[in-house]
Chains A and B, each alone.
Chain A
Amino acid sequence: MTEKGIKLGTMTLDGLDRAGGFDAAVRDYKWFYLGAEFCENLIDEAVCGEAVRLQGLGKKVCLLTPMLSEKGIVRLDAVFKKLLKLVRLGSIKASGLEITVNDFGAVELARQNRLPFKLNSGRLLYDNIFDGTRRMLKAHSALGFEFFKELGITRHEISTTGLRRRSNFTNAGAPGPGSRKFSLTLFYPYLNLTSARTCLVGMRDVEPEDSAKGVTCARECRICSFAVTHPSIKEKLVVRGNTVFLHFPGKFYRSEEALAALRVDRLVYCPFQ
């Protein structure tokens, strides 16, 4: 049975509540994906309180983490330490919380903090394992899975590309991807096409005399996302903060069996990217 989740992205639980979507989300989804997937400026300890609230409602939580500079490491370290404290206090069940990493620095940070949570590899680490097109999802080999397994990671996150999808997962010979145990979480309806460290919408330009101390912004990404008409691309692009997405609004799977063949056992709806 495929699990269902929702990614809140730039939306907070309180914001969802105010918008009138909280009760429906709690009713319809087992998993809540919290935290910043693409930008370290959005890392916020408030997600710890949200995780407590959601677990109290019987929900499972996955904390998304982005690419990290030193500033992001400090912020994420504070979140990790707070989560550990909440586990010690019994406010959070470690078994009901996962952490998705999009930076190998986060793996190292998790290791140093001896986090008791399961780790997943995020969509920004996709290329370390996968390849593909709109219609085909390919794992390079079992070796990529093997590497991540040694890090304790057997769940990998991917984006929809619409109704595809063949894979090479049936190749179960010794080095074939199908020979390894792994599972996939499929995010829809947006695919992250590219990410910058700096922000397309928020950050001011850097002058020649400035050696920027980091990426600064006024969280303009929270105002809205933008549709972009690229004269050379047929599809409209969607820009949110530092990331450009493609939207795949149509049907993206035929059946539970088709998802199972793709090793997808969790779907995550991302209404806000």
Chain B
Amino acid sequence: MKIVSCFTRLEELEPLAEAGADEFYTAIGELPAFSFGFLPFNRLRPAIEKAHALGKPVALAVNAIRSPSFKNPAAVPEKVRMIDAMGIDAFIVSSPHLLESLSSGGPRLRARLQLSSVQPVFNSMCAAFFARFGISRIILPNQLTEPEARKIVSFCRKRSIETEIFDYRFFGCAYVNGRCHLHKPVYYRLTADMSDGSMCRINADPRGLVGIRTLEAPARAKELPAVVRRLETRLAGGGAPRLSNAASFFDFFSSGVQYLKYGTRHDSLKFKVGKVKALRAMLDLAEKLSSSLPKTEARRAFIKELTRWDGGGF
């Protein structure tokens, strides 16, 4: 398994490579990308050259889900093609229209196309739908476990499409990216300013958050107190249950998924390096245990070790 790390400054590449990154990706403000943290456009060419000098490929996220604006719909594909000529290795895309445009309109791109998790693939039929665009990699959403992803991974392997997952420790929102309007208050109104990302975690006393609306199945009313308690706890503490954990990582690792991503672009360099080191340590542990113990024992030992992981100071 190889490590893919985000970066947003040229100076980050070398320390991230030393920390264990095998590939890099970034985003620029001139092209629509999901989330925030951008490399200045004038640093992109030097970054590509630097990454290549380090022997590492570099991808560019163009993964905002929206189609190009009607005011100048050709602008995005044109910019992508310009950057393609700079020698970028891959574009991470989520807009189906943009995928179609880049895979079938105009000259073939030199760089490869990766499907962003912002356009989540939860089943092999969806993988087949997007495979038609000649994608080289599917970045799986974090709301999927290895047993659920088995058919997707098998589908991809048969077609030489790579697969990638996120490190569950550093990316774990329960809500589905590309299907979520919680973060930006465009449909609801805030009582006070909130920092981005805090909507999922209410940070309030759970008691009294939840009220029952019309009871539709009176015969099941006795289940309600437990359901209300569960809902209150979840709303106050991080949302719906997370599927990604140490066990699901180990199972993905064993299944042959090739890439592990850390992608909080707005992190400081210190955090970026620390997190990439944490990814490397986790991979080294999985490799060591897998090569020295039977699979079941290796899995158990890995989970035990990772359960002790205390957050690494992040």
Binding site for B on A (CB under 8 A): 10-11, 67-73, 103-109, 112, 124, 127-129, 131-134, 139-144, 146-147, 161, 168, 171, 173, 175-177, 191, 193-215, 218, 220, 222-235, 237-239, 242, 244, 246, 272
User: Which residues on the B side are within 8 Å of A228 (C-beta)?
Assistant: 209-211, 231, 235
User: Which residues on the B side are within 8 Å of A211 (C-beta)?
Assistant: 145-147, 245, 247-248, 250-251
A139 to B161, CA, bound (A): 32
Instruction: Give 11 CB contacts A-B under 8 Å.
Output: A69-B123, A71-B148, A141-B69, A194-B179, A200-B240, A209-B247, A209-B303, A211-B251, A212-B145, A226-B228, A233-B191
User: Which residues on the A side are within 8 Å of B187 (C-beta)?
Assistant: 133-134, 161, 191, 193, 246
Q: Known pairs A67-B179, A140-B66, A239-B210; list 13 more (Cβ under 8 Å).
A: A104-B130, A105-B124, A105-B129, A106-B125, A108-B129, A132-B186, A193-B188, A210-B245, A211-B146, A212-B248, A223-B224, A224-B224, A228-B210
B158 interfacial by beta-carbon distance below 8 Å:
no
A69 to B145, CA, bound (A): 10
CB–CB A235/B189 < 8 A: yes
Q: Which single member of A107, A210, A224 contacts B129 (CB below 8 Å)? A: A107
A213 to B146, CA, bound (A): 8
A108 to B130, CA, bound (A): 10
A178 to B246, CA, bound (A): 49
Q: Which single member of A72, A224, A229, A231 contacts B214 (CB below 8 Å)? A: A224
CB–CB B216/A11 < 8 A: yes
* Chain A proximity mask over B227-240: 1 for CB below 8 Å, otherwise 0: 11011001100011
B11 interfacial by beta-carbon distance below 8 Å:
no
Mark out the residues of chain B between 98 and 112 whose CB falls within 8 Å of any chain A CB in the assembled complex.
Answer: 100-101
Binding site for A on B (CB under 8 A): 65-70, 73, 95-97, 100-101, 119-130, 143-148, 150-152, 174-176, 178-182, 185-192, 194, 198-199, 202-204, 208-217, 220-221, 223-224, 227-228, 230-231, 234-235, 239-243, 245-248, 250-251, 300, 303, 306-307
CB–CB A203/B241 < 8 A: yes
Q: Which single member of A70, A208, A224 contacts B307 (CB below 8 Å)? A: A208
A5 to B148, CA, bound (A): 35
User: Which residues on the A side are within 8 Å of B203 (C-beta)?
Assistant: 231
With A141-B69, A147-B96 in contact, do A69 and B148 touch (Cβ < 8 Å)? yes
Q: Which single member of A10, A131, A214 contacts B148 (CB below 8 Å)? A: A214
User: Which residues on the B side are within 8 Å of A161 (C-beta)?
Assistant: 187
User: Which residues on the A side are within 8 Å of B214 (C-beta)?
Assistant: 224-225
With A223-B217, A224-B224 in contact, do A140 and B188 touch (Cβ < 8 Å)? no
Q: Which single member of B67, B122, B126, B221 contacts A147 (CB below 8 Å)? A: B67
A244 to B174, CA, bound (A): 12
CB–CB A124/B179 < 8 A: yes
Q: Which single member of B122, B127, B147, B186 contacts A212 (CB below 8 Å)? A: B147
Instruction: Determine how close the nearest CB of chain A comes to the CB of B222; give it in whole angstroms.
Output: 10
Q: Which of A104, A201, A206, A218 has the most CB of B within 10 A?
A: A104
With A73-B125, A195-B180, A227-B210 in contact, do A203 and B240 touch (Cβ < 8 Å)? yes
Q: Which single member of A127, A233, A239 contacts B65 (CB below 8 Å)? A: A127
Q: Which single member of A73, A146, A200 contacts B239 (CB below 8 Å)? A: A200
CB–CB B148/A213 < 8 A: yes
CB–CB A206/B245 < 8 A: yes
Nearest 7 interchain pairs by C-beta: A105-B126, A141-B70, A105-B125, A196-B240, A144-B67, A197-B143, A140-B67
A198 to B121, CA, bound (A): 15
Closest to A38 in B: B179
With A147-B100, A225-B213, A231-B191 in contact, do A68 and B123 touch (Cβ < 8 Å)? yes
User: Which residues on the A side are within 8 Å of B307 (C-beta)?
Assistant: 208
CB–CB A232/B143 < 8 A: no
A107 to B123, CA, bound (A): 12
A198 to B188, CA, bound (A): 23
CB–CB A68/B126 < 8 A: yes
User: Which residues on the A side are within 8 Å of B123 (C-beta)?
Assistant: 68-70, 72-73, 103, 105
CB–CB B143/A104 < 8 A: no
User: Which residues on the A side are within 8 Å of B248 (C-beta)?
Assistant: 211-212
A205 to B231, CA, bound (A): 12
Instruction: Determine how close the nearest CB of chain A comes to the CB of B49; give it in whole angstroms.
Output: 33
Closest to B231 in A: A201
CB–CB B125/A198 < 8 A: no
Closest to A102 in B: B179
CB–CB B125/A206 < 8 A: no
Closest to B235 in A: A228
With A147-B67, A205-B241 in contact, do A213 and B147 touch (Cβ < 8 Å)? yes
A215 to B131, CA, bound (A): 26
User: Which residues on the B side are within 8 Å of A218 (C-beta)?
Assistant: 223
Instruction: Determine how close the nearest CB of chain B comes to the CB of A162; give it in whole angstroms.
Output: 9
User: Which residues on the A side are within 8 Å of B96 (C-beta)?
Assistant: 104, 128, 147
